[in-house]
Amino acid sequence: MIPKISNEFEIINTEGLKEVVINDNKTTTFVSAKIGSSYTEYYKDSYFIIVKNYYPSKNIKNKGIAFNEGSPVGIWYHFDKSGKLIKEENTDEGYSFTPENVVKYCEKNKIELPKGYQKSGFHTQIIKEARNGKKVWVIKYLIPDGDIQMVVLDGQTGKEMERKKVPFVSS
């Protein structure tokens, strides 16, 4: 369910790279700017994506896994400009209620999670936050009346701490 990623140094080859490439099982997106570039892999049957950010030199800056429409999960690797691995960040630290547990919670509660690349529109978001010094999962999803349901789960136990409806505001 969760794609794998290594801590190996890499350089992006931008020659011929398109903004969006859609294949049968995977869609990739590429964005480039003066400050660097970003490359994302979306998998047709996964709730998770691979994100890679690069320095303007095309050397990897950081990479890791994230929820599709959400927060980083697992280990993220950070590199200096020369390509040396300088940090391995465990983004799940302090969360005993795992990303897989969040997926199970959503399935059990009939909360639709996006799989693969989504062109536009609002899709369920799963975000990690700290509230009052406590790590939590925040799930936001559309409900039938057109508003958004927000659910806050304890990051340790998965216990529902808050549930409220918030208005959907289109940008």
Average predicted confidence (pLDDT) for the chain: 94
CB atoms within 10 A of CB 50: 20
Nearest to 68 by CA among 120, 99, 113: 113
pLDDT digits (tens, 9 = 90+) for 93-136: 999 999 999 999 999 999 999 999 988 888 999 999 999 999 99
Is the distance from CB of 78 to CB of 85 less than 8 angstroms? yes
- 75 and 137 share one domain: no
pLDDT digits (tens, 9 = 90+) for 131-152: 999 999 999 999 988 899 999 9
Answer whether residue 2 is part of any domain: no
pTM: 0.90
**With pLDDT > 70 as the criterion, what percentage of the chain qualifies?**
99
- 105 and 155 share one domain: yes
What are the CA-CA distances from residue 124 to residues 27, 67, 88, 114 (Å)?
A: 19, 10, 28, 7
Q: Which domain holds residue 35?
A: 20-90
Answer whether residue 31 is part of any domain: yes
CATH code of the domain in which 159 resides: 3.10.450
Work out the pLDDT band at 171, boundaries 50, 70, 90: low
- 51 and 77 share one domain: yes
Answer whether residue 8 is part of any domain: no
- 86 and 121 share one domain: no
- 24 and 84 share one domain: yes
- 121 and 80 share one domain: no
Q: Where would I find the beta strands (DSSP E) of the chain?
A: 20-22, 26-33, 36-43, 48-54, 60-67, 72-79, 85-90, 125-131, 134-142, 148-154, 160-166
- 107 and 145 share one domain: yes
- 32 and 77 share one domain: yes
